[in-house]
Amino acid sequence: MGDVEVPFMTEIVRTIRRESDSKIHVDVDNQVKDIFDVFVAQKEDEKPFDAVNFVSIGSLRYYARATNLIALLAINGISVDRVLDPVPEEKLVAILKALQADPNAQPAADASEAEKAAYKVKPEIITMYMQGRIKSEKYYTQVLNVLATTKVKPPQKKKDDSDG
């Protein structure tokens, strides 16, 4: 299948960053950056103070703010793909049917760990995944890489020493 590319997303983010750096008032510029910025850090680094969600990929963590809906969607997409991808399609169909019939359905005693995890996913999410509306982890990782602005260490909350 080859590498997953997100050229349209890449171009949009580049254009917004280029334009915001040169033509928009500083306050608006910061608001625009808050919408698109994703911080990337080593797993052992401290979490950025305003990050609300993250995903670990390899030795890195990708952090998203509450204002970055694209990154939050990508992080959630990765989480869903990690749970559902290991489940064979026929098992996933059976799980979906069971959950649609009874939202509190439980896996069989002999179900695999992957199948047990899939029972915790809402039926609507499983349906979206099976329809291809939720993409692969590889796709969402590319999206996060496009949005990534800090690649070494996330910004830390600074103490204000000017008070005294």
DSSP code string of 21-68: HHHS-HHHHHHHHHHH-EEEEETTSPPPTTEEEEEEETTEEEEEETT-
Six token digits for residue 46: 């401290």
What's the pLDDT at 1? 34
- Consecutive sets of 10 residues in the chain, 164 residues long: mean pLDDT of each? 57 64 54 74 73 87 87 94 98 97 96 97 97 95 84 47 41
What's the pLDDT at 158? 46
Question: At residue 5, what are phi and psi to the nearest 5 degrees?
Answer: -120, 150
What's the pLDDT at 44? 74
Nearest alpha carbon to residue 9 among 138, 149, 147 = 147
Domain ranges of the chain: 1-68+147-155
Secondary structure letter of residue 152 according to DSSP: S
* Residue spans of alpha helices (H) in 68-122: 69-84, 89-101, 113-118
